[in-house]
Each structure stands twice: as structure tokens, then as C-alpha cells.
Amino acid sequence: MGSTEPFWIEINISQLRKNIKLIQADMPKNLRLCSVLKNQAYGHGAVKVAQEMVAAGSSQIAVSTLQEAMELKNAKIHCPILIFGERTSLEIESCIENDFIFFVNDSAVAEISNTIAKKHGKKVEIQIEVDTGLSRYGVRWDSAVEIIESIAHFSHLNVTGVMTHFAMSDELDKTFANEQIRRFDECIEQIRKNKKIAESILFHASNTGGFLDLPTAHYDQVRIGILPLGIYPSKVCRRIEGIKPILEFKSRVASIKNLHVGDVVGYGMHYKATSTRTIAVLPMGYGTGFPRLRNQGYVLICGKRAPIVGGNAMNAMMVDVTDIAETKRGDEVILIGRQGEEQITAVDVASWCGTVCYDILTRLSLEIPRIYKN
């Protein structure tokens, strides 16, 4: 597999299908699934993941840019596409032409959207985001109802969704998440007083963390990105038995060398051998999007952990294989994935450099060859 490449990513589509099945079996009946596929499905390939999610019955797909939505449409993904965030006035026209669902969070944007929709002779589907505490996109919860009602009055706009987003849904402390739920519930209650407006609206709030840990925040739909990829957003959120990562990042040993006592390794000379060591050099570094590390973390070779030594370079990385005597040039190396009894997850790599797994995954260069296995 990938034998002519110095490094590559393997994506296990049959495990993706298993993960989706396990998630659906865990979902309450009638709960809709919106598949979040932004940033190339966190580096896994948006079109490939979309095909599986739609085949499995996703009711909606969400991305965060117009370009991402166009890519899925051009790939003949037949599913309503929602674009998170805010659109510029120029983008609104493209959204309307292509029937993408976008967010309208204030009356100025509603006015522009309504005018363009009218010009195209369309009644366009839009959603509204309620900011219940993340202080990101959307209308602040305490003035949301008023604005939602005024937006709903535009004759060429059809409000089909009202959503919010959690600041912290996957940690043990759910105090703030529960406060956000309370704020959102208050909005929903007000909106429901106007049956005509409420009728066509789907309410949604939960990402993977909310889906797993906040059943009172499921509403009509959950928006799930990371879980079908087999990754949990935190170490403490609920587990679903059988869900496994589908992505593996691999390379091969380019060369092996022996260090004498006092030899240093890598830019910045962050490692100095205090005994004779055997080092494997890998033909990849932070140029692939793998984080820049210094004497931190490890890779897997021959099913064993080989510690990263020195600072990894743009196109090279050195690992200590003194205790893995069988290592040879050309041996497969696991940067993320499983080998024998050992496993390295994106969450592990994230912990080596003080970030989150989403960051590790979305940084993996799209130029790394992806091999999709069934």
C-alpha cells in the first residue's frame, strides 16, 4: 500500500460505514443527522465522506465556505447543503443560484437576500443562528426572537432552521452548556408562540459532544463532524462501543544511522546522545502539516514506540530505534494509526503539542496522497 510514496494517508471506508451505523443505532428515533464536512471532512476528504454519509441517510450536509459547498455540489452529492457562518453580499447571490442554505442573522442581510431571491424568482431556504454564549456568529439570545420574527416576514425567505452552538459540550463540567440550553429553550418557547413561523423550523444545537453527552440538547437534528471519523472530541465524553478511527498517516524509514556519545540531532541541537544510539530518519516533517515537535512524542515501527528525538524539520524527522533492533530501511512507520498492539491517535498527537485533535487533522496537507480502502 502506498509503496511508492514517502508518506501517505489511508482512509478506511468500511470502518467509516461501521461508525455511521453505530452512531445511527445510538440515535433516538426521528433525530435528524446533519453531517459536518468542513475543511475536507477534517482532512479525510469531503466528497468521499459525503458519499457515505448521504448513502446512510444524512438529512443535511454542513460546510463552512461557499467553495466547499460548490465542490460537493459539483461532485453530485445530492443532499441539502448548509453553509455555517456569515456570507458576504457577493456570496449570497451564489448561494441563492445554487440553492445552498445559508445563515441570515440580521435584518440588513435579510433585506439583501430577499432582494436577490426575488430577482431570481425564488423563495430561499435560510437558517438563523442564535448566539447563546459562544460569542461567535449569530444573534444574541436575548434579542433573537424579535429578529427571527422580522426575518420570517420577508416574502422570499423561508426560515427552516434555528440553531445554536456550544462553547463547551464535551467536558465533564456541563454548567455553561446547560445555561446555553436554558437560553435556547427560552427562545424556542417564544418562537413557538407564533405557530405559522415555528411550523417550518428545525431546531438544532449539538455537535458531537452535545450528541454524546447532552441528550436534552438533541432537538430536531444533531450536527456531527468528528464522530463518524472515529474520533472523540475529548477524553471524557461518552463512548460508543466499536467506533474506531478511520485515518492512518504512514511513512517509511528512509535511512538508519548510529550515533556516538555526544552527537547532536536536528536543527537547534535539541538532542544530544548520552550513549550510543540508533536513529531512523523519516522522509517527512512539519511540511506535511504534522506538528513541529522537540524530543516529544513517538511513532510506531515494528509495532513498537520509537521516540521522536531532536526537532523535526520540514522534510525529515529522526526517531530513536535503539530498542527496536529489527528496524530496516523501508519499514513502514505509523505517525497516526495502529500497528500491532500499539496505537497513536490524533488526540495523542494533539496532547504532545498542546492543541486539539481537530487542529492536528485539519493541518495535514491536502497534498499528502489519500488512499481509500474498502
Ligand X SMILES: *Cc1c(COP(=O)(O)O)cnc(C)c1O
Least distance in Å: CB of 205 to ligand X? 9
User: Does 349 help bind ligand X (rule: CB under 6 A)?
Assistant: no
Least distance in Å: CB of 227 to ligand X? 6
Question: Using the rule CB under 6 A, which residue among 44, 183, 218, 223 binds ligand X?
Answer: 223
User: Does 225 help bind ligand X (rule: CB under 6 A)?
Assistant: yes
Nearest to 132 by CA among 82, 211, 187, 83: 187
User: Does 58 help bind ligand X (rule: CB under 6 A)?
Assistant: no
Give the torsion through C-alpha atoms of 104, 110, 114, 116, to 10 deg: -70
Nearest to 2 by CA among 363, 314, 330: 330
User: Does 252 help bind ligand X (rule: CB under 6 A)?
Assistant: no
First to last CA, the chain: 13
User: Does 139 help bind ligand X (rule: CB under 6 A)?
Assistant: no
- The one-letter amino acid at 1: M
Least distance in Å: CB of 321 to ligand X? 35
Instruction: Answer yes or no: 244 catalytic.
Output: no
Least distance in Å: CB of 249 to ligand X? 19
User: Does 113 help bind ligand X (rule: CB under 6 A)?
Assistant: no
- Grouping H, G, I as helix, E, B as strand and the rest as coil, residue 8 is strand
Question: Using the rule CB under 6 A, which residue among 208, 312, 327, 339 binds ligand X?
Answer: 208
Query: How many helices (H) and strands (E) would you count in the chain?
Result: 12, 21
Instruction: Answer yes or no: 21 catalytic.
Output: no
> Grid coordinates representing 371?
488512499
Catalytic entry in 137, 267, 286, 372: 267
Catalytic entry in 38, 48, 174, 250: 38
Nearest to 372 by CA among 279, 247, 238: 247
- Rule CB under 6 A: which of 34-53 touch ligand X? 36, 38
Give bridge partners of residue 261 from the DSSP assignment: none
Segment lying near ligand X (by CB under 6 A), choices 187-195, 205-213, 254-262, 364-372: 205-213
Interface with ligand X (CB under 6 A), residue total 12
Segment lying near ligand X (by CB under 6 A), choices 13-21, 100-108, 142-150, 220-228: 220-228
Which DSSP string corresponds to 252-317?
Answer: E--EEEEEPTT-EETGGG-EE-SS-EEEEEES--GGGTPPP-BS--EEEETTEEEEEESB--SS-E
Judged by CB, which is closer to ligand X: 102, or 154? 102
Contact of 153 with 198, CB cutoff 8 Å: no
User: Does 102 help bind ligand X (rule: CB under 6 A)?
Assistant: no
> Grid coordinates representing 374?
474498502
Pairing verdict, β 271-272 and 304-309: unpaired
Question: Using the rule CB under 6 A, which residue among 83, 226, 301, 368 binds ligand X?
Answer: 226
Question: Using the rule CB under 6 A, which residue among 84, 102, 184, 203 binds ligand X?
Answer: 84
- Rule CB under 6 A: which of 149-168 touch ligand X? 165
Nearest to 366 by CA among 132, 43, 46, 99: 43
Segment lying near ligand X (by CB under 6 A), choices 119-127, 201-209, 258-266, 301-309: 201-209
Apex 367 CA angle, 363 and 370, nearest 5: 95
Least distance in Å: CB of 107 to ligand X? 22
Enter the DSSP assignment of 4. T
Contacts of 131 (CB under 8 A, 6+ apart): 137, 138, 139, 140, 141, 164
Least distance in Å: CB of 229 to ligand X? 8
Instruction: Classify the C-alpha dihedral 99-100-101-103 as positive or negative.
Output: negative
User: Does 228 help bind ligand X (rule: CB under 6 A)?
Assistant: no
Judged by CB, which is closer to ligand X: 116, or 128? 128
Judged by CB, which is closer to ligand X: 221, or 251? 221
User: Does 321 help bind ligand X (rule: CB under 6 A)?
Assistant: no
**Chain CA centroid to CA 138, Å:** 21
Least distance in Å: CB of 225 to ligand X? 3
User: Does 217 help bind ligand X (rule: CB under 6 A)?
Assistant: no
Positions in the binding site for ligand X (CB under 6 A): 36, 38, 84, 165, 207-209, 223-226, 233
Instruction: Give the active site residues.
Output: 38, 267
